Amino acid sequence: MRHFHYKDGEMYAEDVALRDIAAKVGTPVYVYSTATFQRHFTVFANAFKDRTTLIAYSVKANSNLAVLATLAKLGAGADVVSQGELVRALTAGIPASKIVFSGVGKTEPEMRAALEAGIRVFNVESLPELERLSDVALSMGTRAPVAFRVNPDVSAGGHEKISTGKAENKFGIAWSSVQSAYARAAALKGIEIVGVDMHIGSQIDSLAPFEVAIEKVGALISDLRKKGHTITSFDIGGGLGIPYGDNSKTPPPPSEYGALVKKLTADMDVELIFEPGRMIAGNSGVLLSEVVYAKSGEDREFLIIDAAMNDLIRPALYEAYHEIEPVRAPGRNFKTQRYDVVGPICESGDTFTKRRELPQMAAGDLLVLHSTGAYGAAQSSQYNTRPLVPEVLVSGDRFAVVRERPKLEEILRAESIPDWV
């Protein structure tokens, strides 16, 4: 359920006409709906309301401060993977006690910053990381709370570039080394073992891989306890997919996911932690763009729009599908056309879709790329010296620019020409 819909022939985000945002802020621009963020978070939280649960929103999906603050108000925690994300989460009002730190390459300064803040837990992914964390904690006169991210070797669908739970991936502690990793952690003075963590992939569209992995880790938790380790939390990671509108795959709703997870973990006596990203943010945002030219090719029609792969890289990187709709509602008996919708960058990869049947459009028309609230702005760049795409947050009939489009002078100011050039 998302709050982007046609009203009186125009697309609105909640009660704000996208045309008004385009007129005031310009295009391309990301537009987020507060109500959709709230709804997704609440649906997820409600699925676990009778269990002690921490929902640590995965900041990487959409790290805008206004988004984080919106979720903080609802009680969200944060899953962070860098010092930058840690500072964002704290700045947005997410308490350190609700922050988990993931990632395969945490550096010493990052460990120090997280220990100083007093985060909930480090999800540790290797023995060298464990040893370093212990040293850093001891040097600060403290102990680091740790869960190992275990790699349950489960195939979890999704695109090859975002699958993480197989033995061949770089993530987590290899299944055969998990017991010895916990034994080593128990021996280290700077470490306090608190739990177990997993994350098996992203855009997962069936419950089966979750079921296999949770059962495997459940058995592991019993084993670890028998060996005397204290396991109080089980972090199940993120990964639940969302509908992107291509009808090929319909991921299970959070309620079904919740029912399954609750059933499988009923006797585990653990606090559940989740790290959902896409599920919260994906359908909460659109990329609003204007058609610059409609161009006829040899054998096809192109819509050249003012958004490009630097603003939204998912189609180029993962062959991702994003539903496209015009901002002006197609009237009755509208004509359609098969289009390649492309950006202005000089790379064939700067293509959002090929041969998609869409209502006919012309230069100056506005359109949206749906389901771009997650991994859209967060993965944008200034390639081609295109200023970082701005972000707008809507709430009811209000909207605010929550990240400005940088001016060209600002971009250039960060660079310098040495006097010996």
Q: Contacts from 119-122 at CB under 8 Å and sequence distance 24+?
A: 119/86, 119/145, 120/54, 120/56, 120/77, 120/96, 120/145, 121/145, 121/146, 121/147, 121/194, 121/195, 121/197, 121/233, 121/235, 121/273, 122/146, 122/147
Interface residues for ligand LLP in 164-193 (CB under 6 A)?
none
Q: Does 318 bind ligand LLP (CB under 6 A)?
A: yes
Q: Contacts from 389-392 at CB under 8 Å and sequence distance 24+?
A: 389/28, 389/29, 389/30, 389/287, 389/307, 389/310, 389/311, 390/25, 390/26, 390/29, 390/30, 391/29, 391/30, 391/31, 391/32, 391/64, 391/66, 392/21, 392/25, 392/29, 392/30, 392/31, 392/32
Where helices occur in 1-95 by DSSP H, the ranges are 18-25, 34-46, 65-73, 83-91
Whole-number minimum distance, CB 67 to ligand LLP, in Å?
14
Q: Does 252 bind ligand LLP (CB under 6 A)?
A: no
Whole-number minimum distance, CB 265 to ligand LLP, in Å?
18
User: Is 277 or 326 the residue whose CB approaches ligand LLP more closely?
Assistant: 277
Strands laid side by side in the 10-13 sheet: 4-7, 10-13, 16-17
Give the interface segment with ligand LLP, choosing from 31-39, 45-53, 234-242, 253-261 (CB under 6 A). 234-242
Q: How many CB atoms lie within 10 A of CB 174?
A: 12
**Alpha carbons 13 and 34: distance in angstroms, whole number:** 9
* 346 catalytically annotated: yes
User: Is 11 or 119 the residue whose CB approaches ligand LLP more closely?
Assistant: 119
Q: Does 196 bind ligand LLP (CB under 6 A)?
A: no
- Figure out which of the listed residues 133, 279, 324, 327 binds ligand LLP, where binding follows CB under 6 A: 279
- Figure out which of the listed residues 62, 202, 284, 380 binds ligand LLP, where binding follows CB under 6 A: 202
User: Is 25 or 270 the residue whose CB approaches ligand LLP more closely?
Assistant: 270
Give the interface segment with ligand LLP, choosing from 126-134, 249-257, 272-280, 408-416 (CB under 6 A). 272-280
Q: Does 370 bind ligand LLP (CB under 6 A)?
A: no
User: Is 160 or 419 the residue whose CB approaches ligand LLP more closely?
Assistant: 160
Q: Does 199 bind ligand LLP (CB under 6 A)?
A: yes
User: Is 199 or 386 the residue whose CB approaches ligand LLP more closely?
Assistant: 199
Q: Does 126 bind ligand LLP (CB under 6 A)?
A: no
Whole-number minimum distance, CB 3 to ligand LLP, in Å?
20
**Alpha carbons 132 and 127: distance in angstroms, whole number:** 9
Q: Does 45 bind ligand LLP (CB under 6 A)?
A: no
Contact status, residue 217 vs residue 178, Cβ threshold 8 Å: no
Give kind and range of the element (H or E) at residue 208.
Answer: helix 208-226
Q: Does 58 bind ligand LLP (CB under 6 A)?
A: yes
Q: Does 209 bind ligand LLP (CB under 6 A)?
A: no
Interface residues for ligand LLP in 90-109 (CB under 6 A)?
102
Q: Does 239 bind ligand LLP (CB under 6 A)?
A: yes
Q: Does 321 bind ligand LLP (CB under 6 A)?
A: no
**CA 262 to chain CA centroid, nearest Å:** 23
**Which residue out of 346, 362, 408, 417 is catalytically annotated?**
346
Residue 238's nearest CA partner among 3, 54, 49 is: 54
Catalytic residues: 346
Residue ranges that bind ligand LLP, judged by CB under 6 A: 58, 61, 79, 102, 162, 199, 202-203, 237-239, 275-279, 314, 318, 374-375
